[in-house]
Amino acid sequence: MRRAAVLSVLTCALALTATAPTTATDPAVHPDRPSAATHTTVRPATLLDTIPRRGVLRVCTTGDYRPFTHRDPASGTYSGVDISMARDLAASLDATPKYVATTWAKLVDDLAAGRCDIAMGGVSVTLPRARKAAFGEPTRTDGKTPIVRCGDQDKYGTLEQIDRPGTTVIVNPGGTNEQFARSVIKHATLKRHPDNTTIFDEIIAGRADVMMTDASETRYQSKIHPELCAVHPDRPFTFSEKAYAVPRADFPFKQYVDQWVHLAKHDGTYKKYEDAWMGE
């Protein structure tokens, strides 16, 4: 009886073995194939590989925010601190830059939709933007501060002085300037101006009194417009950082951009481009 029971168990085991499904990694079944341990892992696609193969780095940029990005309306050519940086990044990837026109309202959506590989041009890091894109190592710190006609410097040094009836605060739509102005302006008149390249002419002409924008921009605009003065740019109302935005899930590309920015900040490259635009 005991011998019969053992034979019965062995018979069942053999039957199960005979009918068990085989796997593609079983070297006994497929001796011509490598074992599971030697299979090549398929890596997710990354722009770090795609851009060199394509030979083109697609850069989303607004072209309306000097000193970081400016599109010449006559020639269509781009210039600025981050345009120079974009050329360097492209060259490091054996590619050339292709600038994809966008707006501040659509910037991160265009990036998330795959219309470009990176967003550059004075982009401020915000939490709503960080929900749609990944930001690399910051290039600089910044913050919102006023720019006014030089004769009005003493009138608009604080938010309380700015936010009064009779004051016109001008903003460009869709970006952090408008968001900040709408969060603090309750009594002054808020005026939207669609063209960020001519918005400072509105202050010079007296059709607006104040614009609150990044300190870096106020320094640059006061440099090219002697009629305008930046108000305490070294003590802005807010704290922010500027960085380049990349697709949220592409970690290899983000790590590369981080390392590239880190080197450019420490070998003098970024400062060289910034000084060319904002230096005295």
Average pLDDT, the chain: 88
Q: What is the pLDDT of residue 23?
A: 38
| Model confidence at 1: pLDDT above 70 | no
Each residue's pLDDT tens digit, 6-43: 444 444 443 444 444 433 333 333 444 444 445 555 66
Q: Do 198 and 263 belong together in one domain?
A: no
More confident residue, 174 or 167: 167
More confident residue, 73 or 38: 73
CATH code, domain with 118: 3.40.190.10
- Using left for φ > 0, alpha for ψ between -120 and 50, and beta otherwise, residue 26 falls in beta
Q: What is the pLDDT of residue 12?
A: 44
Name the DSSP class of 151: G
Would you place residue 81 in the very low, low, confident or very high pLDDT band (cuts 50, 70, 90)?
A: very high
Each residue's pLDDT tens digit, 244-261: 999 999 999 999 999 999
Q: Do 117 and 196 belong together in one domain?
A: no
| Model confidence at 2: pLDDT above 50 | no
Q: Is 150 part of any domain?
A: yes
Which range marks the domain in which residue 261 is found? 47-141+240-278
Q: Do 221 and 274 belong together in one domain?
A: no
Mean pLDDT of the region 127-141: 97
Q: Is 19 part of any domain?
A: no
Mean pLDDT of the region 53-59: 98
- Using left for φ > 0, alpha for ψ between -120 and 50, and beta otherwise, residue 121 falls in left
Distance in Å from the first CA to the final CA of the chain:
103
Q: What is the pLDDT of residue 280?
A: 58
| Lowest-pLDDT choice from 81-85, 193-197, 276-280 | 276-280
Q: What is the pLDDT of residue 244?
A: 98
Mean pLDDT of the region 89-105: 97
Q: Do 134 and 152 belong together in one domain?
A: no
Q: What is the pLDDT of residue 37?
A: 47
Q: What is the pLDDT of residue 6?
A: 41
Residue 276 has φ and ψ, to the nearest 5°, of -65, -30
Q: What is the pLDDT of residue 40?
A: 56
